[in-house]
A = this chain, B = another copy of it.
Amino acid sequence: MKKINFKNKFQKFTDQWSPKVIAELNDYQFKLVKIQNDFIWHEHNDTDEVFIVMDGEMFIEFEAETIKLEKGEMIVVPKGTKHRPYANDEASIMLVEPRGIVNTGDKIDELTAPNDQWI
C-alpha cells in the first residue's frame, strides 16, 4: 500500500491533454492531466466524468453556458453532455472516471490519447 503525492506525480510528465493514471478505486481511475489551449467538443455516452482543478484554472464550454473552474473546485459532467474543456494557461487537472474511458469520448481526433498510461 502506497500513498500518492499529487505534486510528485505532476512532475513526472510534461505532455498536455494526455491523462496519466495514478490510482484505481474498484473499476474507476484517478488520472492527472495537464491542459492548455482548446480541446474538442465531445461527450461520454456511458458515464459521468469528474474534473478537479489541482492548479491553475480551466473552462468547460457547454451548449448553454461556459463554466470557469479554479484551483480547489470540481464539477461533474453528466453522461451524454456535450462539452469542450479549455485553458488559457496550463492547468493541472485530476479526472475521475471508469477505467477504459477515452479522453475524446465519441470522437477520434489527433488529441485522442492512449489509455492506461500509469505514472
Contact = CB atoms under 8 A, between A and B. Distances in A.
Interface of A: 1-7, 23-26, 28, 30, 47-50, 62, 65, 67, 69, 72-79, 81, 96-98
Q: Which of A2, A7, A77, A96 has the most CB of B within 10 A?
A: A96
A74 B26 contact: no
Nearest to A46: B26
Contacts of A25: 28, 48-50, 76, 96-97
Report how many copies the assembly holds: 2
Given A25-B48, A28-B28, A50-B23, A74 B1 contact: no
A16 B75 CA distance: 25
Nearest to A83: B1
A6 B3 CA distance: 22
B97 A62 contact: no
A70 to B, nearest CB: 8
